[in-house]
Each structure stands twice: as C-alpha cells, then as structure tokens.
C-alpha cells in the first residue's frame, strides 16, 4: 500500500467535522500516517476511527479524542481532555502529556498509554484492554472496572479500584486509599515479568527507567464482597450503595 | 365444613391504614435480609395522583365535524429528529418499543418484539447491554441506547442504528443505575456485558465520561461525529426535574427528548425507588412541553413520552398534550403473555398469581419473557409472540386514530390539549385544560 | 416560586477561567488575555459573560461599581432615573471622586474607610433594581448579558491592566437571561472578593436559610451566590483565602469548581467527586486556570503543560 505523502492537516482552519472527515478519507485511501497541527485542545477529534493507520496530534486534544475507535492508532503530543479513547474496542492510544477525567472510560479492548498523570476516574467501567499510566492517577481510578488491566506506575488517589468486578490493577507507587471492596493480593513472579514486559513495550526507555521494577508493583483486585447481595456484608454495602 | 360461611362470632378485623399488610410484610422482609426490597414492574401502589384517566376527549358535535371512522384517512406517519439529523427516523405509527435489555428479557422476547416492530413499521430500542443477537437478526429500525453502564457498546452497531438514545435516566428509577440479579447473568449475558457469571449486576448511575449538561453538549457532538451526523440523537430522561432537564437536553443539542414517567417499568429495581422517585407521566408530559415552549424549541425538538402507556387512549392523550410519539414497554410484554393465566403453578411457586405478578427480577418468568432459563424461554414462541405484539401495536394505533377522527383530525399529530377536558381539578391545573362542567382552566 | 427563581435553579452550562501574573508589576495585556480566554470558552455564543479584574491597588480609595438597573426588568427611563440618583448621591459624598457612567453602569472612587454593608444598602435604596456590583481597592467586576464581544464593547475589558482576574461565560437554558444571575459574584460585605463557579451547590437552600436567619441577605436565586457570601464572611472574620476555600470543601455539598480572587490572591477549590472540569497551566510567569484547555491554548501561546486539578484540591497564589 502506498504511503500517501502526508502533508499535515491544519486543524486551525477547519471545523471538527472537516478534520475528522479528512482523517477518515486519508485512512480509507491507505494513508498510514496522518499529522494534525494546531488541534488546540478541541473536542471530538478522531472520533470513531474504524481503519488501521496512525494519527499524530501535534498539540493537545480536548474531550473524547479517540472515542468509539476500532483499530486505529493515535498519538497525542500534548495533553488530553476527558473521556480519552472512551468505548474503544481495539486500537492504540498514546498521550505524551496528562489526561483528564475518565481516561479510557468503558474501553472494551486496545491499549491506552499516558506518559503524564491521569486525573479522576481513570479506566472507569473498563470492559477489557490495557490502561497504562506512567505518572500518577487521581480519584476513583478503576471504578467499577469489569475486565482488563490497569497499571499505574506512580501513586494513586483516593478510592482506588472501588467497586470493581474483574479488572486487575497494578500500582508502582503508593496507593492513596483503597476503594470499597478493593484488596491487595500477592504479585506472582510471572505477573512481575509481564509488567516489566509491558513497561518496556509501551514506555520510552528513559521514562521506563524512572519507574519501579515489575516486582515492586502492588496488585489490587476486587474482594468480591459486592458481587452478590449478602446481608452479612452490610458494612460494605453501606459504603457502596 | 364450609369455611366461607359467615361466622358472627368472629371478631371484626380492623387493619391499620398506616401499617398495612404490605408495609408489615416489607418490614418482615427487611428484618430477614438486611437490605431493601428489589423487584420488577414499576410503581405498584394505587394511583391517587393525576393520571391520563383524569382527562377525557371532547369529540365533535355541532361545533366541529368528525371524520368517518371507516372511510376518511387519519394519518399516523411519524417523523422524529429533523432538527439536526440528515436522516430523520420515519415511522408508520407513533408508538415505539422502548429499551428493555436482553438480560432482563429473554432472547425470544426480544426477537418477538423486534419482528413485530419491523412488520408494523416502527422501531425497537436496544436497552442495556448493546445490540442483542435477536435485534441483530430481526430488527429493521433500532434505536441504539447509550447508557451509563456502556455494556456491550460497539461502534459498528451504533453506526447501524436509526437513532442513538443517550440515556440519562429511566422513569422507574431516575437517578440510579440498572440492576440485573445473578440468576439472570447467564454465560451469554455475562459475555455480552463483560461481567463475571452470576454476579448481582449494579449498573452505574452516571455516565463514565459525562457528568452534566456541559459535558453532554460535547458528548452529543461526539455521537454525531461517530455517525456522520446522519441519525437523530435522543436524550432520555427519567421524569424528575423535568422542566429543567428537558430544557437542558434541548439546548444541549438533542434532536428528540424522551421523558419516561414515574409509572414506567423495570425488570429489577429497589422498590422504594419505583414507588417514591420521579414524577407521574401526566405531569411529566406537561412539564416537558412547557419546557420546550419556554425555550422556543417546541416543534423543532420532538418529544417521546413513556411510562405506563397502556393503550391507544393513553397514547392519544399524551400526544394531545404534546408528545410526538410514545414508547411502550410493559404493555408490549403483557401482549407477549405477561401475567396471562398459563403455567399457573409456576406463578404460585413464585408466591404470586396471574394478573398480580411482578417477579421479573427472579428470572423465573412463567411465560418465558423475563428469564434466561432456556426451558422457561421455550414457553414464549417467537412467531406467536411477534403476532401478538403486532396485534397490540395495530390495535393501539386504531384506538388513537378513532379518537383523532372523532375530534375531527385527519392526522393523529393534530390532536391538541383543546381536544380534551379534565375530570378533576388537579388534572385541570396540571394540564391547562378546562374542568368539565365549568369551561374554566384552574390554577393558571 | 416565581419563574425567575425556577429558571435560576437550572443546571447552567458554565465555563470559568482565571489568570494570575506571577512576575512583579502590572500586566497591560491582562484584560486582552482574559477576553481571549472568554471567547474561546464560550461555545456558540454564550448568553452572558463577566469578569472580575484586579488592577493596581488604590490604597487610599475604594472603587465602587454599580448597575443602575437590569434592562430586562426596567424601562430605559427608570434606569436613567436610577443612574441619575446614583450619580447625584455619589457626587454628594465628601470623599468621592471620578464619578462616571456608561450605559447602565456607574463607577466612582471613595476615599477613606467605609462601612461596606451600610454603603451598599444606601446605594441600593436609591431606586428599585439598583445593584452594587463590586467594591474594592483593586477589583472591578463587569458582567453583561450577551457574548464576550459585547462585554468588551460595553466595558473595554481589553484595555484593563492589572495583575490577575477571573471570568465566566454562561450558556444558559432560559429564554430570559438575567444579569443578576450572571457571574462573577462579588462577596458582598467584603472588599475585593469575587468568585466564579461551575457546578451546583446541592445544600444551597439549607445554607441560605441559615444565613438569612442571621440577617445576611441574598440578591439572586442563583446557588453560586452562596459561595461569594461564604467567602466574604470568612475573609471578614480574618480567615485567609486558603482557609476560606478549605471551608468551602468542608461545608458545601455538590459539584463545584470555584475560582476566587482577592486584591492580592487568586485561588481555586475543586469538589470531592471531580464532577466539574478544571485545568491548570503554570509557568514561572503566570498561572492560567479554566474549565477547558482550549481557553488557555487559544489565549496564551507557548510550550507549557496543562493538567487537570485533582479532587478536593485547593490552591492559592499570592502576590
């Protein structure tokens, strides 16, 4: 497939609808690398990208960048707003800066990598996939996480991994406070090795070097006390509902 | 011995109006379980508030001319979402099937409803859990619901929809998330929803990436981006602060606002929420219409009303008050044999009887509608169910047409508040319609 | 409840912003920067816009800004009469100077010590619909129904030189847009205090009743006002802005991102649930805070990081 020489799309002169339409058209005609200049933290950029290909934003993006994605790749050189890659089924999203609330909300697959910090509700309701934050994360990360893997190399905020189903979380720094029904479990040697592999694969070398080794991560999963109503667990339910 | 013979020596029983048998039973249950009661169906307590029953139509007499019921046409075509969508939703009738999840409902129930809707030319709404296999196979126009849980959300299914419904809340339990108890989280449902098998699923009350009207503006734009601006975006609200919420939804860019009133149904929810949250559907439709008029968008933004719409009369009254279409849920299930006296022993095993059952949450539905048990589901034959639901939709449509014609309308959408009178003061005040016998509108 | 109060209770769609110059001296671009931020934040033509800008400190005098009346409530004639009454009153004071009017606004300087509540009541009793917008040694509050462009047209924000300020745009859902429900809110009873708020205070009615029982008045039905009342009280009691904002976190319920200014400080507080967005950009030269990053990027060029504030975060910058 011929890589169509990518002149960058200048978002400054185009509406969001036009930027997205141009992006999709290029992806459809086989372009594998698209640059967008001056995204200027606008919302809804690269929503519903359904074809393989890489989009690079030379700046910050606003809300829902990469939302509803199936199979593309997005790199954001600045920061991202709320709902980064929300509901993504497959694909790869990397943010060099930080991400706002609800990053990787409800993703069903794919990977979301944040080099900076993530704000509140990272990976909320996630249904699969991998979320990896090199920095810290904020309040209620992993809330109601159903499946998939959440890795935070730095510190977490309060209510970490609150009310989860079957998402597995790993924390390299300190845990601000565990959420309702979140428990720490021992980390196996295999998991430590897997973590080392993930960090090596997804983070640039200098960044990875600043982060803990796989074996120093803590593993957090659901205690399962909220999975079924049970009067003997009244204390847990009082906080949960 | 004849137990029913009147025994004058038996003491006269006097029950408390405060601590009724139902209240006592509720306290006994809580003492046993330590948790609130969860059940299906919706508001069960007797309706002592203003409802559609407090309105009556004023057919033509000398001042207006009726249309002949069997000859003159009365159009039922309904178009929703012309505000921004390139492809508004066009329906043959103003009645649509509301969102009911596959999970709460069986595959056969979803299939029957999808087939009926397709046949009559109306839409089916997916409900929690995304597009079900039944709808994938049988539905023609489906409204794709995006709920706070985001279970089963798939961008391709979203793009295949005839409309997207961004759900903020539901009439039965506004402000709270959905519930599906463990017995109904089967392997297939668990797989669809990415949950462990057998959990008592509690859905979130809030969207994960959207927390208020400011965010909703952006979210609606995102959904439009995802669908190339083709299809209408509905915003569904559980009727609570309806006047405020409808204005916000309209201003935020919704093509259509759905308002689901207090009497709306549910497969499983805490009983107290069903009984004591939200405002009745009659009040809701009046607030919703007033809200749209207040921001100058009545007519531009369409209104779908839901929550205890039982027949064509309720639908016609809702439309006269301002609805462009109505959603039915419980009525559609009843057409599929819900509460029919079939398999009566199984109703009894649940502790209930036909015409009194609201035990959807147990997953042991005797007629195969709200169950995931394959054996029970067999009791609902898809073809027969589809035919029954289709008949209900047709009969309801005929009822609406009959009333419209009697009021001199050649189009059901021409029904107006002025076609009705109120039978109670409250209905007059709430609806702005004269109290029959007085020619006066009270409270305005 | 009348229509107004029902409308005011609506969840509004709001954007807030703040800018604080860290380097010494006055920034003659302050107003222009704030205006750019306001314009970027207002989507599709906001229904009201307002700023509270802090300029050079008039150590010896207070700047008093008054609205002679709301054009939606009063006739032009009534407003003109009010304006005249205010001007006459102002000129009649021994310690006043620089009395000027523009549209429905009157501004003058007042030297020496003043009893702020007494002065406010006095001015507001001069005519029906008169509202004191702000009083301070350095802070000036302007708000307008309409877009930031209109705000600029009426108040020449872009010419304002100063050190810090906050702003607000509102996309409202009412058909009637009312200036008294617009923001920023001045902390009535305290000089140089103003707030902007995005969100909804859910224990507003309860708090308001408590204040009213103690004789503290409210002028609108807007829940954001209680934040201004709260901070004004705190500062008058001798608390610092930091302490006041910590108190907000403790005593207010609901969703809020709230920005506040005093003569020498700017601060923000974010609610415990992160319901409302607030992003922060900070360099050695400035701090910019806004509901959306786009407001900062559009107004301030440069290579700086922007990050989202954390739950329950309180930050204050001082000069």
Per residue in B170-225, pLDDT (tens digit) is 999 988 888 888 889 999 999 999 999 999 988 888 999 998 888 999 999 999 99
Average pLDDT, chain B: 93
- Residue A238 scores a pLDDT above 70: no
Q: Chains B, C: CB contacts under 8 A, how many? A: 47
> Which among B296, B292, B167, B299 has a CA at the least distance from the CA of B220?
B167
Residue C219: pLDDT band by 50, 70, 90 thresholds? confident
**Does B305 score more than 90 pLDDT?**
yes
Apex C313 CA angle, C209 and A164, nearest 5: 100
Residue A36: per-residue pLDDT? 97
CB-based contact A81 C293, cutoff 8 Å: yes
The reply to whether A137 falls in a domain is yes
Handedness of CA B122, B127, B133, B136 (dihedral sign): positive
Quick check: is A1 in a domain? no
Min Cα distance C167 → chain A (Å) is 19
CATH number at residue A23: 2.160.20.60
Q: Is C13 on the interface with A (CB under 8 A)?
A: no
List the single best residue of C280, C297, C313 to mutate versus A (max A Cβ within 10 A).
C297
State which residue of chain A sits closest to B190, comparing Cα positions: A146
Which ranges in B227-373 belong to alpha helices (H)?
Answer: 242-251, 271-276, 281-294, 312-321, 330-335, 344-349
Q: What digits encode the pLDDT tens for the residues A50-106?
A: 999 999 999 999 999 999 999 999 999 999 999 999 999 999 999 999 999 999 999
Structural domains in chain A (count): 1
Q: ipTM of this model? A: 0.89
Report d(CA C234, CA B198) in Å as an integer.
53
Q: Do C306 and A79 touch (CB under 8 A)?
A: yes
Q: Would you give the end-to-end CA distance of chain C in angstroms? A: 44
Whether the predicted pLDDT of C311 surpasses 80? yes
Q: Indicate the residue of A79, A116, A119 with minimum beta-carbon distance to C310.
A: A119
A192 in a domain, yes or no?
A: yes
- The CA-atom distances, in angstroms, between C221 and each of B290, C7, C9 are 21, 9, 7
φ/ψ (deg, to 5) at C60:
-90, -15
Region C223-244 average pLDDT: 96
Task: Please identify every residue of C annotated as catalytic.
Answer: 14
Query: What total number of domains does chain B contain?
Result: 1
> Which residue of B158, B182, B195 is in closest CB contact with A165?
B195
> pLDDT tens digit string along C162-180?
999 999 998 754 444 566 6
Which pTM value belongs to this model? 0.85
Span C179-200, average pLDDT:
89
Residues in chain C: 319
Number of CB pairs, chain A paired with chain C, less than 8 A apart: 69
CA neighbor of C53 nearest in space, from C23, C19, C22: C19
The verdict on residue B318 lying in a domain is yes
At residue C188, the pLDDT reads 92
Any idea what the Cα angle at residue C278 is, between residues C274 and C284, rounded to 5°? 130
The Cβ of residue B122 has, within 10 Å, a number of other Cβ atoms equal to: 24
- Does the distance separating the beta carbons of C175 and B294 come in below 8 Å? yes
Which band of pLDDT confidence, cut at 50, 70 and 90, is reported for residue C4?
A: very low
Does B320 reside within a domain? yes
Judged against a pLDDT cut of 60, whether residue B73 lies above it is answered with: yes
CATH number reported for the structural domain that contains residue B168 in this entry: 3.20.20.70
Q: C274 and A41: CB-CB below 8 Å?
A: no
Alpha carbons B393 and B395: distance in angstroms, whole number: 6
Residues on chain C bordering chain B, Cβ-to-Cβ distance under 8 angstroms: 6, 9-15, 43, 171, 173-175, 198-199, 255, 275-277, 291
Q: Is residue A63 part of a domain?
A: yes
In this complex, the chains that touch C, judged by 3 or more CB pairs closer than 8 A, are: A, B
Cβ(B236)–Cβ(B254) below 8 Å: no
Give residue B267's domain range.
39-431
C234: number of CA atoms within 13 Å, CB side?
Answer: 21
Please check whether residue B196 touches C, CB under 8 A.
no
Residue that has been written with the tokens 């995931």 in this structure? B372
Query: C214 CB contacts (<8 Å, ≥6 apart)?
Result: none
Please report the pLDDT score of residue B71 as a whole number.
63
Cβ–Cβ below 8 Å for B200 and A68: no
B138 located within any domain: yes
Residue at B444 is within a domain:
no
Query: According to the model, what pLDDT value does residue C102 have?
Result: 87
Name C181's Cβ contacts closer than 8 Å, sequence gap at least 6: C7, C8, C48, C220, C221, C222
Which residues, including other chains, have CB under 8 Å from residue B273's CB and lie 6 or more apart? B172, B173, B176
Q: How far apart are CA A22 and CA A19, in angstroms?
A: 5
> Per residue in B331-359, pLDDT tens?
999 999 999 999 999 999 999 999 999 99
| Structural domain range at position A205 | 7-239
Cross-chain Cβ contact A43/B222 below 8 Å: yes
């Amino acid at each position: 497939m011929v890589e169509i020489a990518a002149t960058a799309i200048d978002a400054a002169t185009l509406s969001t609808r036009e930027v997205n339409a141009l992006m999709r058209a290029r992806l459809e005609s086989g372009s594998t690398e698209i640059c967008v200049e001056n995204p200027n933290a606008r919302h809804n950029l690269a929503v519903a990208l359904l074809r393989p290909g890489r989009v690079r934003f030379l700046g910050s993006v606003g809300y829902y960048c990469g939302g509803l994605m199936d199979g593309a790749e997005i790199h954001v050189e600045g920061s991202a707003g709320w709902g980064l890659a929300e509901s993504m089924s497959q694909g790869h999203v990397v943010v060099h800066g930080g991400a706002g609330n609800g990053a990787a909300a409800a993703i069903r697959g794919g990977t979301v990598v944040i080099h900076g910090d993530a704000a509140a509700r990272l990976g909320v309701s996630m249904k699969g996939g991998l979320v990896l934050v090199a920095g810290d994360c904020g309040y209620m990360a992993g809330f109601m996480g159903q499946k998939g893997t959440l890795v935070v190399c730095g510190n977490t905020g309060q209510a970490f991994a609150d009310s989860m189903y079957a998402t597995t979380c790993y924390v390299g720094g300190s845990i601000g406070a565990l959420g309702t029904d979140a428990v720490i479990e021992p980390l196996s040697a295999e998991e430590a090795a897997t973590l080392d592999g993930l960090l090596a694969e997804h983070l640039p070398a200098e960044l990875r070097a600043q982060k803990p080794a796989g074996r120093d991560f803590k593993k957090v999963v659901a205690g399962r006390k909220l999975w079924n109503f049970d009067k003997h667990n009244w204390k847990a339910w009082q906080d949960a509902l | 011995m004849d137990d029913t013979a009147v025994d004058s020596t038996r003491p006269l029983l006097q029950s408390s109006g405060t601590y009724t048998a139902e209240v006592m039973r509720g306290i006994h249950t809580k003492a046993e379980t330590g948790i609130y009661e969860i059940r299906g169906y919706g508001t069960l307590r007797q309706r002592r508030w203003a409802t559609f029953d407090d309105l009556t139509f004023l057919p033509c007499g000398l001042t207006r001319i009726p249309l002949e019921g069997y000859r003159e046409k009365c159009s039922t075509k309904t178009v929703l979402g012309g505000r921004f969508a390139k492809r508004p939703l066009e329906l043959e009738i103003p009645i649509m099937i509301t969102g009911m999840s596959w999970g709460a409902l069986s595959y056969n129930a979803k299939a029957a409803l999808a087939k009926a809707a397709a046949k009559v030319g109306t839409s089916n709404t997916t409900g929690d859990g995304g597009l079900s296999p039944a709808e994938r196979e049988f539905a023609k126009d489906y409204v794709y619901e995006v709920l706070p849980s985001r279970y089963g959300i798939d961008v391709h299914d979203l793009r295949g929809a005839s409309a997207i419904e961004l759900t903020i809340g539901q009439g039965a339990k506004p402000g709270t998330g959905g519930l599906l108890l463990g017995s109904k989280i089967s392997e297939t449902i668990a797989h669809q929803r990415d949950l462990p098998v057998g959990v008592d699923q509690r859905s979130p009350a809030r969207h994960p990436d959207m927390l208020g009207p400011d965010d909703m503006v952006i979210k609606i734009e995102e959904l439009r981006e995802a669908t190339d601006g083709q299809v209408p975006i509905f915003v569904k609200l559980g009727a609570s602060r309806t006047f405020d919420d409808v204005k916000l939804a309209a201003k935020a860019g919704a093509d259509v606002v759905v308002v689901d009133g207090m009497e709306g149904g549910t497969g499983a929810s805490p009983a107290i929420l069903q009984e004591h949250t939200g405002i009745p559907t009659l009040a809701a439709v009046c607030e919703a219409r007033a809200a749209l008029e207040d921001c100058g968008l009545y007519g531009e933004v369409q209104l779908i009303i839901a929550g205890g719409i039982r027949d064509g009369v309720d639908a016609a009254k809702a439309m006269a008050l301002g609805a462009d279409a109505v959603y039915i849920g419980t009525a559609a299930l009843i057409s599929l044999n819900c509460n029919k006296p079939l398999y009566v022993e199984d109703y009894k095993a649940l502790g209930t009887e036909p015409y009194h059952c609201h035990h959807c949450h147990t997953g042991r539905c005797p007629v195969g509608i709200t169950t995931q048990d394959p054996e029970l589901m067999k009791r609902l034959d898809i073809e027969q169910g589809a035919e029954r639901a289709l008949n209900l939709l047709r009969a309801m449509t005929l009822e609406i047409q009959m009333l419209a014609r009697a009021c001199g309308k050649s189009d059901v959408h021409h029904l107006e508040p002025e076609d009705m009178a109120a039978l109670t003061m409250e209905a007059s005040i709430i609806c702005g319609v004269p109290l029959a016998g007085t020619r006066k509108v009270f409270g305005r | 409840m009348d229509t107004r109060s029902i409308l005011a209770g609506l969840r509004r769609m709001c954007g807030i912003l703040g800018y604080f110059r860290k380097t010494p001296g006055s920034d003659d671009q302050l107003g222009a920067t704030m205006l750019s931020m306001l314009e970027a934040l207002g989507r599709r033509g906001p229904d009201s816009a307002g700023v509270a800008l802090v300029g050079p400190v008039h150590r010896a005098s207070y700047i008093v800004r008054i609205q002679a009346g709301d054009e939606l409530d009063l006739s032009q004639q009534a407003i003109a009469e009010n304006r005249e009454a205010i001007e006459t009153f102002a000129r009649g004071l021994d310690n006043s100077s620089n009395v000027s009017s523009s549209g429905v606004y009157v501004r003058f300087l007042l030297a020496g010590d003043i009893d702020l509540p007494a002065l406010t009541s006095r001015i507001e009793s001069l005519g029906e619909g008169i509202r004191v917008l702000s009083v301070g040694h350095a802070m000036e509050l302007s708000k307008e129904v309409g877009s930031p462009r209109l705000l600029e047209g009426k108040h020449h924000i872009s010419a304002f030189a100063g050190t810090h300020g906050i702003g607000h745009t509102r996309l409202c859902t009412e058909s009637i847009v009312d200036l008294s429900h617009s923001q920023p809110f001045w902390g009535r009873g305290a000089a140089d205090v103003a707030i902007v708020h995005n969100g909804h205070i859910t224990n507003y009615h309860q708090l308001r009743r408590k204040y009213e029982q103690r004789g503290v008045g409210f002028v609108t039905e807007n829940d954001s006002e209680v934040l201004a009342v709260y901070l004004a009280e705190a500062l008058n009691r001798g608390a610092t802005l930091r302490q006041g904002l910590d108190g907000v976190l403790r005593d207010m319920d609901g969703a809020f991102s709230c920005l506040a200014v005093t003569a020498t400080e700017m601060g923000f507080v974010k609610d415990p649930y992160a319901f409302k967005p607030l992003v922060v950009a900070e360099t050695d030269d400035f701090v910019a805070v806004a509901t959306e990053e786009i407001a900062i990027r559009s107004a301030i060029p440069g290579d700086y990081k922007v990050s989202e504030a954390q739950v329950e975060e309180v930050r204050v910058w001082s000069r």
